[in-house]
């Protein structure tokens, strides 16, 4: 399940002077945000890897009997 950032409705915890010190999110929104962060980290790690066309990938999978 994917959501847009403008759909997040956090609740804030503030200190005695009204400064925001923490955010409360529904657990599902938190999990989705963490998954998105993990995906972005994976993309960053792999940005220098060569790309393969969809057709080449299909051919390789068929060659190895995976399709």
Give me the number of domains the chain comprises. 1
> What's the DSSP call for residue 51?
P
Range of the domain at 21: 5-63
Tens of pLDDT along 16-60? 999 999 999 999 989 989 999 999 999 999 999 999 999 999 999
Give the model's pLDDT for residue 4: 74
Angle CA(53)–CA(41)–CA(26) in degrees, nearest 5?
120
Give the model's pLDDT for residue 62: 95
What average pLDDT does this structure show over 10-17? 96
Question: DSSP labels for 6-34?
Answer: GG---EEEE-TTS-EEEEE--HHHHHHHH
Residue 2 — pLDDT band, cuts 50, 70, 90?
Answer: low
């Amino acid at each position: 399940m994917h959501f847009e950032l403008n759909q997040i409705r956090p609740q804030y915890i503030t200190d005695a002077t009204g400064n925001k010190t923490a955010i409360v999110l529904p657990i599902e929104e938190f999990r989705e945000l963490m998954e998105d962060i993990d995906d972005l980290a994976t993309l960053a790690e792999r940005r220098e890897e060569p790309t393969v066309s969809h057709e080449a990938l299909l051919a390789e999978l068929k060659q190895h009997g995976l399709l």
